[in-house]
Each structure stands twice: as structure tokens, then as C-alpha cells.
Structure 1
């Protein structure tokens, strides 16, 4: 990892990939800067460890954040998974869940539009990662219930939201 990450101060803004690399490093999460425009790492959640990828599109000033909970949707569960996706996405204010067509992998995706300077603050980076992990943790049980527990999408969502409400 680039040693410049360690020099980012709490009040500094930085290039998005550099800031996220520094954030991962500060938390002790494994990460790799794939390119100047992409960083990937692993972040522990309540249910599993999530692969988090961030891809910077400089021309649009957009940082795309992907969080993958290591869940694959089998062909026989695809219809139920898509129905659950629709129900889950109704619950979200930011980002959305999707099934990636390459490999049928479940993912959470959120795009952050940055200002003209294209810089990311430490607070914004922290909030973006926390939000992605929080949403994945909140709905992970629902996907488990549908994909492995043979619950209907509505039953799975209701059970997951009741469980989440009980954890406070």
C-alpha cells in the first residue's frame, strides 16, 4: 500500500481511492489499490466479511462503491431473489442491491457524486463504508432465508427486519 495514506489528516480531503486506502489501513482492514482509479478490500460485518470495491470515474466525479457479501444466487432461486431485491430496495434511502449478471453475485451499490475538486473527506469516506456495511448486515439474513431457508421473499424480509429491530 502507498505510504502516502498514513499522512492524510482528519481535516484533509484527498483523491477518493487514496482516502479509502488510508481509511482501510487505519482500521487494519486488508486492502489493495488495484489501479489509480480502484481500491478493493475486506471489511468485517456482523454476519460475514464483505468485499468492498471503490471505483473512481474522474470524468463524472463519481465514486462507485460496491459491497459484496459473498452470496451467489442459484438459477432455481433467481425469481425469489429478484422479488426480494425489489422489496429490500424499497427500504433503502441510498444505494441499492442487485445481482451481478457475471456470476450471479449479490451486491450493494452506491454512487457518491463528489464536487468539482473530486476530493473525498475522511468523514464522507467513513460514512459511505459504514452505510454500505450497515445495509448489507441489515438485509443479509433476508437473503439467507430466501436462498437457503426456503422462505418466501416477504416472509424473509419480515423476519430479517424483526431480527434487526431486536438487536438494538
Structure 2
């Protein structure tokens, strides 16, 4: 009997990911300054910008998170890559699109596709922020890494959703 696999493609816009990372770093810095936990200089240094040195670190962290995610979800990924290097992916460097093509069973519940995409976005952002704050604000790094684990569980939950079988009809 032939297999009837479904292909579900999840795309992530790098510009959206970078913006979310920068925005959360900015808001965290503002919050820590307002709480009195950081002075204005320390709070400012926590906030990621588009400047070359900041942008490189954010993009490197994003590349690491993306490759880690592909390994963690490899059971369902359809990829034919056979080489690797330490360069930041062109899609990340050029604000392109990150794409994951999942080869799923025919009974995959398509209503979970949005949850899968949103969970992947959250995981990538949280992992990159964990890396960023490990350098600029170690006190907050652990909370973002912990949240990434929750996001990963949500991704897996969405990935493993199945539809109930339909009873056959006879004429």
C-alpha cells in the first residue's frame, strides 16, 4: 500500500525574527531600568540594534537556533543537504526566508499549522535572546532559554496532531 504523506512548509521571515528579537531586548532593557535593576547604561547595552557588531551576534544566534531546531525536529523534516560549514546562512544574512518542509503522515491535522509556525517563531526568538542576554544581561538569559523549551514543546505538540479517521461508507 502506498504512503500518502503530506508536505507542510513553514516559512519564517528573517526580518520579523530579527525585529522581534530586537524589540524584546529593548523592552527587557526598559523594564530592568524602570525596576531599578539596571542603570541607564547597562539597560542600553542590553538593547540590540542594527549596528554591525550587534546584528552579527543576533544573526549568529539565530543561525545556531535554526540549525538546532532542524536537528530536534529532524524526524519529520524533508531535507537533502549533505554538507555543512560555519557560515551564517545567506537567508539569515540577507533578511531572507527560512523554510522548513515537514513530511507528515496523511492524517496530520492541518489546523495545527499556524500553531506550528508560531511556535517555531517563538523558539527561534527565545533561543537567540538567550544567547544575546548570556552576553549582555546574564540574569535574564535563563528565563528566555526556559521559555524556548516551552515553545519547543508547543511545536512538538502541534507537529504530532492527528485527525480522527473517517468511517468508510458503503453503497
TM-score grouping bracket, smaller chain normalisation: 0.3 to 0.5
Considering fraction of residues, name the structure with more helix: 2
Considering fraction of residues, name the structure with more strand: 1
Largest Rg, 1 or 2: 2
Q: TM-score, normalised by structure 2?
A: 0.36
